[in-house]
Structures are given as C-alpha cells and as structure tokens.
Amino acid sequence: MAKPNIDIKPASGKLGILLPGMGAVATTFIAGVEAVRRGIAKPIGSMTQMGTIRLGKRTDARVPMIKDFLPLANLDEIEFAGWDIYDDNCYDAAKKAGVLETQLLDSVRDFLEGIRPMSAVFDQKYVKKLDGPNVKKGANWWELAEQLKADIKNFQKEKNIDRMVMIWCGSTEVYIEPGPAHQTMKAFEEGLKSNDPAITPSMVYAYAALSMGIPFANGAPNLSADIPALDALAREMSAPICGKDFKTGQTLMKTIIAPGLKARQLGLNGWFSTNILGNRDGEVLDDPESFKTKEVSKLSVLDSILQPDLYPDLYGNFYHKVRINYYPPRGDNKEGWDNIDIFGWLGYKMQIKIDFLCRDSILAAPICLDLALLLDLAKRTNLSGIQ
Ligand SMILES: NC(=O)c1ccc[n+]([C@@H]2O[C@H](COP(=O)([O-])OP(=O)(O)OC[C@H]3O[C@@H](n4cnc5c(N)ncnc54)[C@H](O)[C@@H]3O)[C@@H](O)[C@H]2O)c1
C-alpha cells in the first residue's frame, strides 16, 4: 500500500505542557499522568492512551492501539509548568480542589510538591469572584505578555524541553463580544500596548504562546484565541489551536444524546438542563458575567449538532435552557439533571430524564492529556490554525 505523503517529525526529546490556571482540572491532570507513569492507575477516559483504530476492512482484524499507531509523545517525556493567582504547589492545590483522594495524592506527593505555579497575568475585572496574591505587575498587557514569554523560555531551558503546548485551565472569564481590537494582529498588538479592555488575560497567554509558535488549546468557554487576530498569528507561526470549553459533564451527555436523536430523526421540543456544583469553578460561574460566557458556549452545542436549518421539522423550534447553581456541599462532584422533550412518529411526544452524578475534573483531565498529545502531533505534522 502506498504511504500517505505526510512528513511527521518524530516526538524526540521532552514535551512541556504549560497550564495557565492550576486548579481542579490541571492538578487532577498532572497527578493522574504521574500516577499512570508510576503504574498506580490507568488513564481511563483518554482516547490516545486507551483507544484503538481500525485499519483496512473490518475482516482484516487490524486494530492497533492509537498510541502505538500514531507517533505521539510518550508520557515519560512530559514536563509540566503553569501559572496561578494562588501560589500553592500542586499537591496543596489538589488537596484544596478535593477531587482526588489523599491516598492517591500522597503516592505522587513528591512530584506534585515540585510544581509551583508561576505568577499569573490576572485582573479581577475579568473573573469577579477571585482574588489572589500571585500576580505579575506590568505597565500594560504587552509587558505582561513579555513576562510570560520569559517564564516559558526559563522553563524550556531549566527542564531541557524540546517542544511545548499550552492548555488554558484557568477560570471562565466574563463574557466578551469580538470587537475591533480582535480583528487584526496590528489592532491586537496596539490593544496590548494601550491596555484595551476587550483584551482579557486568557488572550494574553494565548498571544504569548502563539507568538512563540506554541500550540494553544482552550479548556474554558472564553473567547481567548477564538478571534481573527490570534487565528492569523497561529497560522503565521505554524501553531495549531483548538478548544472551546472542555464540555465534560452535562454537555458531554448532550454531545452523546443529541447525535443519537438526530441519527434516528427524532424531533426535539425542549431541553432543560440544571446543575449543582460546589467547586471553585462553580463559585466563579455564580457571577452572571462569567456564567454568560459558559451559557453561550453550552447553548451553541445543540444547534451545531442538530442543524435546525437542515431539519426545520425536527429541530426548527426547540427551547433550550441551561442553569448552573453554586452549591458548596457538593464540591467537584457535580449533579446535572436534564429533561428532554422529544417527539417521534406522527409527532407523538416522549420524554427522557437524565441525572448524571459526575466528577467534573475526572472527566476533564483525560481530555487535557489528549489535547496536549494531539496538538503536539499536529504541530509536528506542520498543521496550523484551528484544528
Ligand atoms: N472541571 C471541569 O471538568 C470543567 C469542564 C469544562 C470546562 N471547565 C473549565 O475549565 C476551567 C478550569 O476549571 P477548574 O474546575 O479547574 O476550575 P478551578 O477554579 O479549580 O481552577 C481554575 C484556576 O484558574 C486560576 N486562574 C484564574 N484566572 C487565572 C489567570 N488569569 N491566570 C492564571 N490562573 C488563573 C484560578 O485561580 C484557579 O485556581 C474553567 O474555566 C472551567 O469552566 C472545567
């Protein structure tokens, strides 16, 4: 069989994973990777680690593991660094996040204690519910971006890193509409220098990474790199970008159920979703401006899956509502209820009820790993811009 003409550089040397925001998701991710490396646990939920790929015909029975088939970075070659407004090391931050049990955390404690967040680019204007001491000072966004680039270069030198990727694991910022400062690189860089309020901290991180050719993924629903200026920069610097919220809990259910309804051509009258969660993410989302960012991203999921324009009889007029309620006793163990009003043959009505008792960060951590490994692969395959 002829080989496809794709030139993929080998995954030689170390891969550095840069994490702005070292809270529940980031620490669950880091602790998990180290636990897997030490043989303490399995990387459940990670497509790159657990998944297989079918080659040729079904009857050929050629089904290798994805990680054996693709030239992905090896977990042993990964190093972590990140930033947070709190200066707790990753062990203390993971304890506070309350996702993983003490026994597991203690088994990788030495490793986690060795990772301490660098000082963050932060402004409370964009995450109203948080305030922390570990924050950089600078005259404008431009200077702060330069400081981030210096952090990245130091990490690279200190740990002898070959390649890097950045995954935003920071909080959901307030809702921002794309505006003039986001349209071109020239306008964006002027905005960095004039401290344009339409530029948010997550954009400053994305800019720092992309201007160094480092791939960027966004785990939050923030605008971040999702603007023409940074898309252009990503292409110019040959950096792949991806992501808009991890979509792990209730939205995971939506992305599982909705394609099934559509495949059976069953109609939808309404989808009401409500959640309780009590972690720091829940607290941040208790602010209406951060919630709006999340809400817009969550609402868009059903439209993009169900394509009401193509199926007006089935999906032309459904009511979709999402609520998130901050409820501290639950911590990271979210509960999400969905009431789905559907209709079938001759318009007859039916209902689906879902009660998903999930663990948000347990679902998000393997996605972080897959995003990091696949963005690194994309970069080595010379892909750039939105993936
Ligand atoms: N938990 C999940 O499974 C899940 C699912 C989908 C999306 N998300 C999104 O992922 C993000 C992280 O979620 P989490 O549960 O880890 O939240 P978290 O609150 O535990 O962690 C976020 C961390 O980001 C830090 N932070 C905020 N702004 C920062 C900045 N400018 N620079 C550096 N650090 C900053 C906060 O101090 C906090 O420690 C959130 O935006 C959340 O909405 C999470």
> In this predicted model, what pLDDT tens digit does every residue of 242-259 receive, in sequence order?
988 888 888 999 999 999
pTM of the model: 0.94
Q: Which of 61-70, 253-262, 271-280, 343-352 has the lowest mean pLDDT?
A: 271-280
Q: How far apart are CA 123 and CA 118, in angstroms?
A: 16
Mind listing the pLDDT tens digit for each residue in 256-273? Answer: 999 999 999 999 999 999
Q: Walk me through the domains of the chain, giving residue ranges and CATH numbers.
A: 14-246+362-386 (3.40.50.720), 250-357 (3.30.360.10)
DSSP letter (8 states) at residue 3: P
Mind listing the pLDDT tens digit for each residue in 371-385? Answer: 999 999 999 999 999
Reported as a pLDDT band with limits 50, 70 and 90, residue 278 is: confident
| Separation of CA 166 and ligand 1 centre (Å) | 14
Burial class (CB in 10 A: 0-12, 13-18, 19+), 303: middle
On the question of pLDDT at 4 being above 70, the answer is no
Reported as a pLDDT band with limits 50, 70 and 90, residue 238 is: very high
Nearest CA residue ID for atom 30, ligand 1: 122
Q: Which of 7-11, 37-41, 243-247, 297-301 has the lowest mean pLDDT?
A: 297-301
Please choose from 121, 281, 362 the residue to mutate so as to test ligand 1's pocket, defined by most ligand atoms within 8 A of CB. 281
Q: In sequence order, what are the beta bridge partners of 167?
A: 217
Reported as a pLDDT band with limits 50, 70 and 90, residue 282 is: confident
The reported pLDDT for the residue numbered 5 is 67
Share of the chain above pLDDT 70, in %: 99
The reported pLDDT for the residue numbered 279 is 85
Residues 217, 243: contact at Cβ < 8 Å? yes
Mean pLDDT of the chain: 95
In angstroms, the Cα distances linking 235 to 28, 189, 328, 379, 384 are 31, 16, 42, 11, 5
Q: How long, in residues, is the chain?
A: 387
Nearest CA residue ID for atom 18, ligand 1: 23
Nearest CA residue ID for atom 21, ligand 1: 23
Pick the closest to residue 37 from 99, 98, 91, 80 (CA basis): 80
| Separation of CA 42 and ligand 1 centre (Å) | 24
Mean pLDDT along residues 86-115:
97
- Cα pseudo-dihedral 36, 39, 41, 46, rounded to 10: 40
Reported as a pLDDT band with limits 50, 70 and 90, residue 79 is: very high
DSSP states of 22-80 as a string? -SHHHHHHHHHHHHHHTTSS--TT-HHHH-B--BS-GGG-B--BHHHHS-PPPGGGEEE
Please choose from 118, 169, 245, 253 the residue to mutate so as to test ligand 1's pocket, defined by most ligand atoms within 8 A of CB. 169
Instruction: Tell me which of 297 and 89 has the higher pLDDT.
Output: 89
